[in-house]
Structure 1
Amino acid sequence: MTQNSRSYHLVRSGETNKLICSDNAAPKPDHHQVLIRMGAASLNYRDLLTRQDITSNRAGLIPLSDGAGTVVAVGSEVSQWKEGDRVSPNFFPNWHGGAFSLTYPAKALGGGQTDGVLSDYIVTEESSLVEVASHLTLAEAACLPCAGLTAWQALFERGGLKAGDTVLVQGTGGVALFGLQLATAYGARVIMISSSDAKLERARNFGAWQTINYRTQPEWDKVALDLTDGKEVDHILELGGPDTYNRSIAAIAAGGRIAQIGVLTGFALQPDILPLMFKNASINGICVGSVTHFERLNRYISDHQIHPVIEQVFGFDDVPEAYELLKSASHFGKIVIDLS
């Protein structure tokens, strides 16, 4: 019997895209594909940008890159997965391992020409999937593919994080809180900055070593210098963009690493990078990660029994409200859609 599959689509309406719900027959897996009954999906800042983009996305695109679900059918040549397995698709389905390629972004889930996961059923290549850690719910696992993996690559795959290092994290969104959780579990000291004292208090409850309110202490780079007894910080998760970059460069230690991740204050980056030379510091551009990275992240999360921080879970009918919460920037952690 053919299953029905609800899904949301982006349809142009004026200067933005409307979220339109439809009900269609569930797709069928090809020889090397897997059919997944999605249990949950989560939102990222990228999803706001995608919805606002009325020129780059295919008409009717299914949004969202991050989700987790259960295998319900496999193609004739599939050997790695079976019915009942709990899995999550990688953000870049064709980046299995090795060096990054500029061909990968065109296939990123939930943007451009490639449908995402905001649907009851999706099909994907078996090689793009990872197993969900046994201690996680599907809602928790749905938080990992973009935000969790980005923080993992920034700190471990590219950052070379060591126990005892000091990490400065900007904000309290998904990537930021994963950075806090992953780093503290490894024995690093984390400084969180935010404009909200209430959010900073919650961050301390999750292990933040120090916190800075950048509204009341706008020269947060100098505060970080004081907190580290003049040594500055070893790693920065740069999530702000133009408004924060020069302070990040000022706060980074000799030999330190800035992970360029976010563009919350825009795209026109024109920082003074000369101090990086005299500090022998570096900037690593971070764009999510590979299937191999994702597998290592899940093993780490399992070993340390880390649970993603979820702000709120919305039902399928309340997806527009979930987008509005994301847009408000009032959330602490991840926003999840329950598709079960």
Structure 2
Amino acid sequence: MSVPKTTKAWTIHGQNDFDSLKFNSAFPVPEISDYEVLVKFHAASLNYRDLIIPKGKYPFAQRDGVVPGSDGAGEVVAVGKKVTRFKVGAKVLTLFNQNHYGGSLNSQSVKSGLGGVIDGTLRQYGAFNENGLVDMPPSLTYLEGATLTCAGLTAWNALYGLKQLKPGDVILTQGTGGVSIFALQFAKAAGATVISTTSSAKKAAILKKLGADHVINYKETPNWGEKARELTPNGEGVDNIIEVGGPGTLRQSLKAIKIDGLISIIGFLASEGEEQPSFLEALAHICNVRGILVGSRDQFEDMNRAIEANKIQPVVDEKVFTLEQAKEAYQHMWDQKHFGKLAIKID
């Protein structure tokens, strides 16, 4: 395949909200080193993290002028002389933290996030070290594959990274974003019971269709933590909570969790307000609270095998944007008009 000298790409300059996103129709295609491969992207997807970087609210490493986006699916079109993991034609997905291959994050790998300090996926072509990619599950389309890098792997890490999910466990998911939907799908595939929260009857119906055993409308039931506990065997509480709301929902999560249960802190979508629990409240519930920053390459490959074995199909929002429409996609997601993962098709 003939590789052009320039590529269409977005970059972030400053922290002036989405006006910081700049489109470049002649961004240079990088030359690959001995251990790198060149990927022609066919799809990307957005995460909440992408939205808050240009707003100046992202708490991890980032640099000005970076190509945004961590999630990408594409085809290898060139390989360096010493590359052994991939051949030309391979369908691949990007690893979120490019240096996180296995085990826990460390001070170096935590600084290797795509779209933060390393040029990401909102472009047509990108060069990556061969260790920063994984094979795409063969059963998925590029649009579906592009949803796995951040949301899919974060959900997998929450369910398997510290405590192994077991059949019969009770999992609680919050809302209908990418991480929560993936957690619902993975948990049901493992034989767990899933309690989901949402804000509308329409979304509740879709959650039920995806396999949720119980759905609580948190607008109708503000004290949803106690309601979730009532739905568990003997009222003992939930085994694992996918906490995407943060300060605004943690108090309710603590009311729902069982003794020695696990709350996986993933996001901070909800406003802080007066709902933040006190230190004593957190102590009194005798549970584990764990912060997560996606997951490792080893976990990614484990997840992809499970996706194939269980025929799991990622939930992609019905509205798909083009690369040129990326700024519109940011606003669409910020306005919470999406369900599941918001994808971008790249030609």
Contact (CA 8 Å) 1:159, 1:235: kept in 2 or not?
Answer: no
Whole-Å separation in 2 of the counterparts to 1:97 and 1:242:
30
Q: Distance in 2 between matches of 1:209 and 1:54?
A: 35
- Is the 2:249–2:276 Cα contact (8 Å) retained in structure 1? no
Counterpart check, 1:34 vs 2:37: yes
* Aligned mates of 1:73, 1:317 — CA distance in 2: 25
| Alignment match of 2:268 (pick from 263, 269, 272) | 263
Q: Does 1:144 align with 2:148?
A: yes
- For residue 28 of structure 2, the aligned residue among 25, 42, 54 is 25
Taking the aligned partners of 1:184 and 1:30, their CA distance within structure 2 comes to 43
SS of 2:53 mapped into structure 1: helix
Cα offsets for 1:161-219 (capped at 9, x unmatched): 11011101111000000010000010001111011221111010000000000001101
Instruction: Single out whichever of 114-123 and 10-19 deviates more from structure 2.
Output: 10-19
The answer for the alignment partner of 2:336 in structure 1 is: 329
The equivalences for 1:144-223 within 5 A come to: 144-223=148-227
Q: List aligned pairs for 1:1-340, cutoff 5 A.
A: 2-3=3-4, 4-12=6-14, 14=16, 17-22=19-24, 23-53=26-56, 57-111=62-116, 113-228=117-232, 229-266=234-271, 270-274=276-280, 277=283, 279-311=285-317, 312-340=319-347
Shift of 1:278: 5.2
CA RMSD of aligned residues (A): 2.0
Cα offset for 1:51? 1.6
Deviations along 1:286-315, one digit per CA (max 9) or x if unpaired, are 110011111111111111111110012111
Q: Which amino acid aligns with 1:6?
A: K
Q: Give the secondary structure class of the aligned counterpart of 1:248.
A: helix
Q: 1:34 to 1:224 in 2, by over 3 A?
A: same
Once the two structures are superposed, what CA deviation does each residue of 1:207-255 show, in whole Å capped at 9, x if it has no partner?
A: 0000000001101012112222412111100110111111111110122
| Cα distance in structure 1, aligned partners of 2:345 and 2:53 | 21
Rounded to whole Å, the distance in 2 between the matches of 1:278 and 1:25 is 55
Task: Report the residue type matching 1:294 in the other structure.
Answer: F
Question: What's the CA shift for 1:270?
Answer: 5.0
Post-superposition shift, 1:274?
3.8
TM-score calculated relative to the size of structure 1: 0.94
- Do the aligned partners of residues 82 and 45 (structure 1) sit closer, same or farther apart at CA in structure 2, a change above 3 Å counting? same
Long gaps (5+) in structure 1: none
Higher mean displacement: 67-76 or 218-227 = 218-227
SS of the residue 2:254 aligns to = helix
Change (3 A) 1:13 1:279: closer
Query: With structure 2 as the length reference, what TM-score do the two structures score?
Result: 0.93
Task: Tell me the secondary structure at the aligned position of residue 255 of structure 2.
Answer: helix
Q: C-alpha separation between the residues in 2 aligned to 1:267 and 1:98? A: 32
- Change beyond 3 A, Cα 1:80–1:244: same
Q: Deviations over 1:15-42 (max 9, x none)?
A: 6643221123322210000100011000
Contact 1:17 1:54 in 2 (8 A): no
Give the letter aligned to residue 137 of structure 1: T
d(CA) in 2 for partners of 1:336, 1:284: 28
The 3-state SS of whatever aligns with 1:175 is: helix
Q: How many residues align?
A: 339
Q: Which whole-Å CA distance do the structure 2 matches of 1:166 and 1:14 have between them?
A: 42
